[in-house]
Structure 1
Amino acid sequence: MSRRLTVEADGGSRGNPGIAGYGALVRDTDTGALLAERAEPLGTASNNVAEYRGLIAGLEAALAIDPTADVLVRMDSKLVVEQMSGRWKIKHEDMRRLALQARDVSADISAAGGSVTYTWIPREENKDADALSNVAMDGQTVDRRLDREDAAAQTAATAPADACGSVPTLPGTPVRVVLVARAPGEGSRTAAAAVAHLLGSAPRCLLTAADDAAVETAAEVGAALGTEAVVDAAWDEDGDLVEAWDRVVARGGTTVVVCAADAVRAVLAHLLGVPAGRSDRLAVAAGSLAGVEVWADGRVSVAFTNRT
């Protein structure tokens, strides 16, 4: 019997057309195991173009994993599902070109002995792909194969005792850090929901400063992510934040850090080269998120700040 894979894909455009990006992932249909994730910014494009690009990326990822698999594509785009199923005509030239690309990948899977079928799902059932597409619209690129050398890292990240162990970095994949400014009460829950929406099912380590407010916020974030927080006092406001940052980067993978707004501001000032006396010009609200990518060549990209 052929292996069964599920592709979940999504795309979005902030403005339609506007800042666009897609997200796609591949799961083992029978076990639910996450095997691959892809996301890419597209510049200015329409929502439909982004949806199709997500489909193509998902099919290509499935083809790379097992070209003989029976692939089920799940998308919340009625347009793409109906057009790719042959029930709706494709009138727009951009859509036609992208549909042909998707069909070419499908044909490669069929030629190897596999198959591709499509089903529409409600938006709320496509949250992980949607989260990846938002990562892309924030300017980040993701290309991860979790069924190979990164599989051990994924397994470790699901076990609290080992969640913050070192993670091998795949070529072309940056180290990602999400800094969360602690917030009391309802602010903690809002921050937790924002982190869960951003990361979806991506493996991550969760660190927190030692103060009560940070631990409270980290508990909410951990509950949303299904990950236990690890206390690291170096992330306290009077801790060695540069050393703490360097350790997170050296670890690799994706790390979420909960700490005081002033600590977030200090790290961003360090990365951006902002003089200490001017760091207060960086807006960091309680409960907000800042995202940073660090590439293998040392390049640092602050993807977003003060996001809620």
Structure 2
Amino acid sequence: MSRRLTVEADGGSRGNPGVAGYGALVRDTETGALLAERAEPLGKASNNVAEYRGLIAGLTAAHAIDPGAVVLVRMDSKLVVEQMAGRWKIKHEDMRRLALEARDVVEAIKAAGGAVRYEWIPRAENKDADALSNDGMDGLTVHRDHEGGASSGGVAAAGSTDADDEAPNGAACAPVPRRDGTPVRVVLVTEAEGSAAQQAARSVERLLGGAPRCLLEAGTEASTETAAEVGDALGVDAVVDAAWASASGAPQAWERVVSRGGTTVVVCPAAVVQAALGHVLGMPAERHDRLAAAPGSLTGVEVWTDGDVSVAFTNRT
């Protein structure tokens, strides 16, 4: 009798198109045992491209576990499920190419005596794959095979993380390996108070779609209040870095954050946001006050491996 496997897959893009990544996992359908986990950053891509890449990774992992398995694919992307099931037409060229790639894996499973079917599920039922896709968007590559899965010895690839190794507060800001095509992302949040701090937290949550690996705050009273709201929204604790409390310390603090890699949210005073952004743009210090940084506003910057810097947005509320 063919082995029964369940693939759960997801993908996301922060900006759509923007910084994208996918996540996928394979379970034993009968026992629920986790057999494989995958995640990877995709650079700049659309949400639908990321969803398809998650599907391909999940199908490929299932095929590696048992080429002739009976596979149930569960995803919260109605588009991918309906297109792969043949009920919806595929009009976009990128989607068509990815669907053909996925179908190549499906045909290999069928040729070995297996089968594949698709089931749409609400996002709330796809949390594990969603968490992996956020790892991908944070610049992490995950390739974990568990006992009973494919034979890679259970060793994670360089740049991956293990669920058992999730760091406590403080260590959450450990370095993240950088990969070509994946930027370091920094979101500067101007400190605020009261409702403005709460609004800032909601804005960060909408922007990132998941918790960053690192949340820093300057240690000032307003920064601590704002960071507490942001941390509650994202489910992480803030780490105090006093260098973010003064404009003079901003360039050095900025370079440390970029060197760390991944995605970092920094809550600090307006003058420090201006100084950090001015440093990125190469502006003289006497012109930094021309940059807008309203209380509770967000400024987003991406730093690519080739040294290019992109200011994605400023003074967003």
Partner of 1:8 in structure 2?
A: 10
- Paired residues of 1:9 and 1:74 also in contact (CA < 8 A): no
Identity of aligned residues (%): 48
Q: 1:159 aligns with which of 168, 173, 176?
A: 168
What is the TM-score when the length of structure 1 is the normalising length? 0.75
Using the alignment, how far apart are the partners of 2:138 and 2:112 within structure 1? 27
Q: Which runs of 5+ in 2 are unaligned?
A: 28-32, 66-70, 144-156
Is residue 36 from structure 1 mapped to residue 34 from structure 2 by the alignment? Answer: no
TM-score, L = length of structure 2? 0.73
SS in structure 1 at match of 2:64: coil
Distance in 2 (CA, whole Å) between partners of 1:34 and 1:201 is 18
1:2-58 deviation line (CA, Å, top 9, x unaligned): 7644111467998xxxx688653224555599731445545xxxxxxx565333311
Q: Kindly report which structure 2 residues correspond to 1:64-103, keeping only aligned pairs within 5 A, or say none.
A: 65=61, 67-68=63-64, 70=71, 72-77=73-78, 79-86=79-86, 88=87, 90=89, 92=91, 94=93, 99-103=99-103
Quick one: which amino acid aligns to residue 10 of structure 2?
E
Q: Name the count of aligned residue pairs.
A: 290
**Aligned residue number for residue 277 of structure 1:** 286
Work out the CA distance in 1 between the residues paired with 2:14 and 2:244: 35
Q: Which residue of 2 aligns with 1:61?
A: 57
Give secondary structure in 2 for the equivalent of 1:170: coil
Structure 2 residue aligned with 1:118? 118
Q: Please name the residue that 1:254 is paired with.
A: 263
Q: Please tell me the residue identity of whatever aligns with 1:36.
A: A
Alpha-carbon distance in 2 for matches of 1:215, 1:122: 35
Q: Deviations over 1:120-146 (max 9, x none)?
A: 23467679999999x9xxxxx876412
Aligned residue in 1 for 2:226: 217
- 2: distance between equivalents of 1:151 and 1:231? 26
Could you tell me which amino acid in structure 2 is paired with residue 7 of structure 1? A
Higher Rg: 2
Which 5+ residue runs of structure 1 have no aligned equivalent? 43-49, 136-140
In 2, Cα distance between equivalents of 1:182 and 1:273: 23
| Cα drift, residue 249 of structure 1 | 1.7
Which deviations, in whole Å up to 9, do the C-alpha atoms of 1:84-142 show, x marking residues without a partner? 223x2527474656543432243345567876442223467679999999x9xxxxx87
CA distance in 2, matches of 1:97, 1:33: 25
1:274-297 C-alpha deviation (Å, 9 max, x unpaired)? 232332332222222222222333
Residue 298 in structure 1 maps to residue 298 in structure 2: no
How large is the RMSD of aligned CA atoms in angstroms? 4.0
* Corresponding residue SS for 1:262: helix
Q: How far 1:237 moved relative to its partner?
A: 2.8
Distance 2:92 2:253 in 1: 51
Alignment of 1:163-174 (within 5 A): 163-174=172-183
1:106 counterpart residue number? 106
Distance in 2, matches of 1:205 and 1:20, equals 20
Change (3 A) 1:130 1:4: closer
Paired with 1:271 and 1:153, the residues of 2 have a C-alpha distance of 33
Within the candidate set 204, 207, 212, 1:195 is matched to 204
Q: 3-state DSSP class of the match of 1:163?
A: helix
- In 2, the alpha carbon distance for the partners of 1:280 and 1:267 equals 11
